[in-house]
Structure 1
């Protein structure tokens, strides 16, 4: 299921931005873009997302900018500064030139300052990032929930449509036996040319045919699968993979009905059912 969540906060002198995107995928697949200097948060971030997202191709982007200079320490090398001043004054005295040493000129000389990067407090950084990431996850989940409700309604509507087709098959199936019986009477009449027809033989043949094409068990199971599908959609649990199985079973029953069909009208209904089941199969790839 597609989704997007974004959150940004300034915490402890750091401007932290977390963005989460996802596209449809049958399983959970994680990728990230995290600054190299903060790579130690990546595994924790992956675990955090997994608690709320179980399906989809998910990409997380983290941007961290220090805005208060807390990541560096600047120390003045007083010994070097004094050495420069003494040397410059000595040169000025010896050459008889004006001593115009200023602080701005002194600062441009090498080794006056020692600049050191302050090590990150990794625990604090993770606390801050996880706080922002949690907010982004909440927004991401909220967006996916809206889309999820739309998908559930659409799938439920399709399932109800399939139930209507099942009822049509149940209506047509007895007529198929009746049509077969009538064709059998007609064929025997033509062959026997007016002689008496053995009604018992016709009844027996029709019974064998009826048993061969009976789809009662398949339609009962198909109705049961659809009921399970609708119950799962009505719940709040992650059911995407369970729905995969249910749809496979629905397709299996419809295929069996199709293989038994001896009536063009039933065959047409089977084709329509398979088309709707395929649409449902594609849509449930987007459901957790």
Structure 2
């Protein structure tokens, strides 16, 4: 299991690489790379190999010589500057102080910006390979910690389900007593006891929670299997939390007993925590 969040950085040959990811519904790649032919497709392929989901941002900052070459003398600009100085000297009414070469080189337009040669693609791809390896390892480490948290929460759901099942006999007695009291009130009111008894029996069938508990057991088994998956399982786990929540809601609506209601509410609380953590799973 891998987390969708991760980070890696690499300093190589005066270049600073950074790779980070956050939660996202799908795979969202954001590349901030210099203009080097073939680099972007290579980066997309490398990132697709280590990430199936997440908002992934890759940046490369060039430094040193790779950031830009030294400025170069613009000979045409120098000629223009010298010609302008000659015109100034010709028009001057008084002799002018001599101008040094250093002063001429300081004039605007004499220099032009140098262009650095692009970094070699092979070197960039090799560095990118190291970066993505570290990035995948970081997401795997976070995923292992996340799996431990999720497993603990699934175990808590299983324990609460067992507690609910253990209350079955006490709940049956509680409901039988409630039904007897209802029948006594019906008898006092002079209503048709047979019909009312039939209705109460139907309510008792509807109040049965055996199916909900069995489905919770099945969901727990499915969640544990997904936690052991090596392939991305985040979306399937997210769907499973919805199924967990549906059974917990039904359990609360059928509870008809304070202790069972408390278990249902505890289930909803742990399922909500599970859902939040599942959003981090790839």
Q: Name the TM-score, length of structure 2 as normaliser.
A: 0.73
- Aligned in 2, Cα 1:180/1:128: closer, same or farther, shift over 3 Å? same
1:264-283 → structure 2 map (5 Å cutoff) = 264-283=258-277
Does residue 228 of structure 2 align to residue 234 of structure 1? Answer: yes
CA contact (8 A) 1:49 1:137 kept: yes
CA contact (8 A) 1:21 1:59 kept: yes
Counterparts of 1:115 and 1:176 in 2: how far apart (Å)? Answer: 85
Name which of 183, 198, 216 aligns with 1:222.
216
**1:105 Cα deviation from its structure 2 partner:** 9.9
**1:183 Cα deviation from its structure 2 partner:** 3.0
Counterparts of 1:279 and 1:69 in 2: how far apart (Å)? Answer: 47
Write out per-residue CA displacement over residues 86-107 of structure 1, whole angstroms, 9 at most, x where no aligned residue: xxxxxxxxxxxxxxxx999998
Match of 2:47 in 1: 49
SS in 2 for 1:6: strand
Match of 1:87 in 2: none
Corresponding residue pairs, total: 255
Counterparts of 1:137 and 1:231 in 2: how far apart (Å)? Answer: 28
Counterparts of 1:69 and 1:18 in 2: how far apart (Å)? Answer: 14
Contiguous gaps of at least 5 residues in structure 2: 83-99
Q: Which has the larger radius of gyration?
A: 1
Counterparts of 1:221 and 1:174 in 2: how far apart (Å)? Answer: 19
**1:72 Cα deviation from its structure 2 partner:** 8.1
- CA-based RMSD: 3.9
Match of 1:4 in 2: 7
SS in 1 for 2:50: coil
Q: Name the TM-score, length of structure 1 as normaliser.
A: 0.72
Contiguous gaps of at least 5 residues in structure 1: 85-101
Match of 1:251 in 2: 245
1:79-98 → structure 2 map (5 Å cutoff) = none
Counterparts of 1:110 and 1:168 in 2: how far apart (Å)? Answer: 84
Counterparts of 1:252 and 1:190 in 2: how far apart (Å)? Answer: 35
